[in-house]
Amino acid sequence: MNITFELEGQNFIELNGGPVFSFSPAVLVPKLEQTMKYLCLVYFDEARLGELPDDDCVTYDTEIRNSGHCIVSEVLRSVQTATTVRVRNDNISITDGPFAETKEQLIGFYLVEAQNLDEAIRIAAKIPPARAGSIEVRPIRETVAPAT
């Protein structure tokens, strides 16, 4: 039997009479059954970032993390801080800036768990930059070699 309790404002869980762990309630979200992982790549024109309210993004990020769908999400620094690395004939080439000149730049990502592609698309459609940018949804390929 698992027992959860609060002591001096901190939350704890005792697992089957064994070790006691502290936790944040937001972290204890039920794991979704039979899910796949999808990477939602967020593209947006950096010149228009001022049109995208930070509060909308923070609110959505909090909601998706609490839902149990979000594994990790991050916002990237400006594309101007990017470094592109290429290896050709064992020679390393480093270029400051992005690889391609495009109207929209990769500004962030969400790694999510969803039952299927339809659910992943529904999740991606709620990401605030989708209103003026685009979200690329790609399934994660299952690991082909055991992790070490």
The pLDDT assigned to 32 comes to: 47
The values of phi and psi at residue 116, to 5°, are -165, 180
Question: What does the alpha-carbon distance between residue 106 and residue 79 come to, in Å, rounded to a whole number?
Answer: 8
The pLDDT assigned to 135 comes to: 97
The pLDDT assigned to 18 comes to: 55
The pLDDT assigned to 5 comes to: 54
If the chain, 148 residues long, is cut into consecutive pieces of 10 residues, what is the mean pLDDT of each piece? 56 54 50 80 92 92 94 92 92 83 88 96 96 95 72
Question: How far out from the chain centre does Cα 99 lie?
Answer: 22
- What domains appear along the chain, each with residue ranges and CATH number? 1-29 (no CATH), 31-139 (3.30.70.1060)
Strand residues in the chain grouped as ranges (E): 3-7, 10-14, 20-23, 36-44, 70-75, 83-88, 91-96, 105-114, 134-139
